[in-house]
Structures are given as structure tokens and as C-alpha cells.
Structure 1
Amino acid sequence: MSFGGPPAPPLPEGLVAVVKRDCPTCELVAPVLGDLHERAGLTVVTQDDPHFPADADWVHHDADLALSWHHDIETVPTLLQVSEGVGEQRTVGWSRSEWERLAGVDGLGDGLPDWRPGCGSLSVDPAHAGDLAVRFSGSSLQSRRVELASLEDEWEAIWDRGWSDGLPVVPPTETRVLRMLEGSTRDPSEVVAVVPPSLVEC
């Protein structure tokens, strides 16, 4: 991910787990999270429910998903060993052996299966990923922005401005443009054409 935008917020020091309630594997390991807090000082970063897995001061709500986005959390649960605000080691999903290795404790999750896959992080959910990229990536898009009134229809506005010949078009929001550019190695500010009749660079 690009870091040209706002600086990445630091993760809490030590052992950190990133979770969300809307994930069966996170629900499964909820007792392990409490155990790790008691035994290894675990801090939990929760993406959705601020009271999951407990209503406690060691549970932090990543309400704007800034921590998850900046630290490339793609799967929950993710267990990290953090030093100076950066996750130096991590493991994703639930693996008893990996969690015990990373936490430096034994006997985690008695009665639980040895392994379960994780779930998709909210920060990579298509419903959020585009908006998060706009907010946090510091994109270098050079195009001018056109703001429409709240009651103005996007497609009618495009037609009225002569940007369409009447065929359906997709309004090029910053979110959509950034998503499209993920499939290209070109610089977002590169001019690739001059379009008539206005001969505007694009």
C-alpha cells in the first residue's frame, strides 16, 4: 500500500491481535484472546464491535480502519509481535502452534481444533477498500475534481456537460479511478492521450 498520505498510526507495543466479531474463527478464539491478555499482555484491535471480545481497556476499536489499512491486515484474526509500532512478526488465522510460538506461551486453546482459516479483514472488503485507499494512500491523481450538488443526478450531469454521447457511462470517482489503476504499472499522473474536441489531457 502507498504511504504518501497521512502517517501510519502505530500499533500498540507487544503482542497484538486484530479481530472482528463477524468472523467465526475470531469468535472461536475469543477465550484464547482473554487468556493471552492475562499471560502475555495481549492487546486486541477490533474492527467492528468495540466490545469484542470484551468490554475492557485492552480492547481498542479500529473504528476508521486506519490501523488495519496501514499495517496491511488482510485476514482476521491476525496475531502480531509489535516493536516500535510496527508488526515485526505475524501469523494469520488460528494455528495453535504458531500462536504459541509467537506469544511464547504453551497450552493455548485447550479443546479447540489445532487450526482454522481466518476471515477477510474489513480493510480489504470491497465495500470499504476503495474509500480507505482514497483517505489514506495520498494518491497523486492530477485530474480536476468536479463536485455535484447533492440532488444532482450523476448521469444527467454528465450528459448536460457533454461528457457522454448518451451511452451509459460510469462516473469516474476517485475511488473507481484508483481501483482501475491497481491493474496498471503506469504513474497515475502520466498523460496517455489528448482527447478531442476539447483536446484535454487525460
Structure 2
Amino acid sequence: MQMKDTFLPKNKHDIESVEALSGLERSLVLPLLPKLLEWLQDFNWPIASGIVDLLSKYKNEIIPHIEEILSMHDMIWSYNILTYLIQDWDTEYVSVLSSSLRELAQTMDYDEGTDLLAIETLWSHRLIEKNVAAGLLAGKLSEIEEGLQSFTLEQKAVFSDLEDERLRLLHTNVEGIGSFVELNNEVLHQKHHYERLLRRYKEIEVLINSIADPA
């Protein structure tokens, strides 16, 4: 182990090491920045918020590392970076990331919504024109609409019945959930996909309205 590695957190509970890093000279912390950013891969880890506070003192220095992370398309890691690390940054710092954010904005992230976060971040700092942002969102909405239209009224009725049954079991017979899932496995997968698309559709609509009529 190199000497500099001794300063790194030993595990996700090692808050003491994070606090100690805050008191170190910048020259000792700089080589550790890439490793410290790795602790933002899961924001449920107890040290994650402390890492954010620490890294916020090194905005200029971590920007190249953030650009690399965003290019990796690790959506959960990217989500945490956008939501917890750079959310409150001034425009002068976010603007340096604008190219990476624009690339991310053009992807389709159905689960974490990092593409929408990228558009929202760019727009909040006025680093993207309204018509460009609106065009990106319109394209995403069109793709979701196409997916939603592939489901028939009959399928939607079945999904509704399954949800009613699931809730009934949760309140009256939790032990029966396993059999319920096994019996309806294929349709439940279809239901999950439909709900995922519907949630995504609503998220895009909210952002479209926010950009069209900014507060």
C-alpha cells in the first residue's frame, strides 16, 4: 500500500478518515480524488455525504474526473454526481462540464433519469437554449409514446387487476405473494415495463413544462 492510500477511508463506515482528510494539506488530498469519487457510487453508504462536502473544496480539480465518470455511462454513479455533488455548484464550474452533460442528455436512461437530470442542470444554468432542450425532450417523449401505444386496453385492464390483487395480498395474505408472482411472472414483467414507461413519460412532461414556463 502506498503512503497516500493510508489516508483513504477503509470502509463505508469510516467517517473518521473522511473528517481527517478535511484537515490535510491540499497536496496530500489531490492524488486521492479519483478514489474518493468512487465512494459516490452508492449514496446509501454512510460516508457518502461527507465525501461530497470534502470534494466540494476541490471543484476545479475533480472536474476532469467527473467528465470521465459521466462518459462511462454508469447511470447510478452519474445520478449521484449530478444530484448530490454538482447540484449547488456555481455556473462557472458547471459550464466546464457542459459538453459532458450534453452528451449525457442525448442518451436514454429509463431507470435513473440521468439524461433528464443533465438537461435540467444545463437549463438551470442557462447552458442550453430553450429550443434545444425542448427538442431533446420532445424526441424522448415521442419514443416513450411509441412504447406506451404498444400496450392494448386489454393488457392495461389486466395490469390494473393484478395490482388490485397484489395490494389485497399485501393486506390479507403476504405469504401468498410468492405464488402470485410465480403464477403471473410474465405478465408482471410486462406490467413493470408499462409502469416504467409511464413514469418516464410523466417525468419528461414535468421537465417540459418547467422549461416552457420557468418560475
What TM-score does the superposition give when structure 2 sets the normalisation length? 0.24
Larger RCO (CA within 8 A; separation ≥ 6): 1
Which structure shows the bigger proportion of residues in helix conformation? 2
Looking at secondary structure, tell me which structure has more strand per residue. Answer: 1
What is the TM-score of this pair, normalised by structure 1? 0.25
